[in-house]
Amino acid sequence: MITDPRKPTDANKSGERSDEIRDDRDTSDGELERLRQAERFRTQFNSVLRHELKTPLTSLRAALDMLLGPEHSPTHSTMVGRLLNNMGRSTSRLERLISDLLDVAVAQGDDLPIFRGPVDISNVIHQVVTELTPTADTKGVFIAGGWRGGDGPMVTGDEIRLQQIMANLLSNAIKASPDRGPVLIDIAEVSTDAEISVANRGEPLDQELKDRLFEPFQKSAAGGYQAGTGLGLSVVHSLVAAHDGRIDLDDSGGQVKFTIVIPLWRGQN
C-alpha cells in the first residue's frame, strides 16, 4: 500500500498532539508561576498594610487621646508641643508609606506616570539633602559630596519622581551608615548620561539578598540596619527604569554604593 506523503500519518498526528500537550504544559506552568508570584505579592502587601500602617496610626490615636483629655496646667503646654511633634512624625511616616505602597502597586502593572522635562539634578539633590540633614544630624552622620545646587547637569526626567528616588537612596544610606559616619553623594557626566551615586560605610551584602534587592519587601542588612518595609529600593528601581535609566550596586571596599544612571537632557528632539 502506497501512502500519500501529503496526508498526515498517525505518527505525525501523534507527534503534533505531543507538541501541543508540551506547549499547553509550558503555558500552564508559566501561568501557575505568575499566579504564585501574584499571591506572594498580595500576602506581603497585606502584611505591610496590617503591621506597618498600624504603628503610626496607633501613635496618632494615643496622642489625640491625650490632647483631648483633661489639662494638667503646669506641664500641659509642654506636653502639647511634644505630642504635636510626635503626631507630625507619624503623619510624615504614613505619607511616605502610603506613597511607596501605591507606587509599588502601580509598578506591578508597568504604568508609573512620568512627566519628562529638563531637570537640574544638583537642585534635586540640594532639596533632598536639606530635607534629610536633621535626620542625619540625629545620628551624627554627615553628608558630603562634590555638588552644588544650580550647578547641573540637566537630566531628562520628572523632578518630583527624581526627588523621590534621591530621598529613598539618601534616607537608606543615613539609616545604614554607622554613627558619625559619612554619606557621600557624587555626580558625573558620562557620555549621554548623568551618574549619581550615594555611598555609605557598610559590609558587603550576601548574594541571595543582592539577587532580590530590588524586589518589593526585600530588606537590606547593610551597616546593620534591618528596619522598614523593604519598599524603598523597589520603588527606586521602578522609577529609574521609567526614566530609561538603570541602578547599580557596588558593595566592595568597605562601602555600599548605589549609582543611578539617567539620560542627560538633549532638548525636545
Which uninterrupted H or E stretch holds 248?
A: strand 246-250
Q: Is the pLDDT of residue 164 over 80?
A: yes
Q: State the chain's mean pLDDT as an integer.
A: 75
Which position has the higher pLDDT, 144 or 88? 144
Choice among 74-78, 93-97, 144-148 with the minimum mean pLDDT: 74-78
Q: Is the pLDDT of residue 182 over 90?
A: yes
Q: Is the pLDDT of residue 90 over 90?
A: no
Q: Is the pLDDT of residue 155 over 80?
A: yes
Give 148's DSSP letter.
-
CA dihedral sign of residues 106, 107, 110, 115: positive
Per-residue confidence (pLDDT) for residue 25, from 0 to 100? 59
Q: Is the pLDDT of residue 176 over 70?
A: yes
Determine the Cα–Cα distance for residues 262 and 192; give it in Å rounded to an integer.
Answer: 9
| Structural domains of the chain, with CATH | 52-107 (no CATH), 117-263 (3.30.565.10)
- Percent of the chain past pLDDT 90, that is, above it, reads 25
Per-residue confidence (pLDDT) for residue 225, from 0 to 100? 43
Question: 266: buried, middle or exposed (CB in 10 Å: 19+, 13-18, 0-12)?
Answer: exposed
C-alpha cell, 31: 501561568
Per-residue confidence (pLDDT) for residue 6, from 0 to 100? 53
pTM summary value: 0.64
Choice among 14-18, 75-79, 80-84 with the minimum mean pLDDT: 14-18
- Summarised one tens digit per residue, pLDDT across range 253-268 is 899 999 999 999 987 5
Determine the Cα–Cα distance for residues 70 and 88; give it in Å rounded to an integer.
Answer: 22
- Percent of the chain past pLDDT 70, that is, above it, reads 59
Which residues does 112 contact at the CB level (< 8 Å), separation at least 6? 103, 106, 161, 238, 239, 242
- Summarised one tens digit per residue, pLDDT across range 92-136 is 767 766 766 666 666 655 556 788 899 999 999 998 898 888 888
Using alpha carbons, select from 196, 181, 189 the residue that is nearest to residue 255.
181
Q: Is the pLDDT of residue 224 over 50?
A: no
Cα distances from 4 to residues 7, 8, 9, 10, 145, in angstroms, run 6, 8, 9, 13, 79
- Summarised one tens digit per residue, pLDDT across range 42-60 is 655 555 555 556 656 666 7
pLDDT band at 68; cut points 50, 70, 90 = low
Choice among 4-13, 53-62, 191-200 with the minimum mean pLDDT: 4-13
Is 187 within 8 Å of 162 (Cβ atoms)? no
3-state SS, 14-63, equals HHHHHHHHHHHHHHHHHHHHHHHHHHHHHHHHHHHHHHCCHHHHHHHHHH
Per-residue confidence (pLDDT) for residue 36, from 0 to 100? 72
C-alpha cell, 33: 508561576
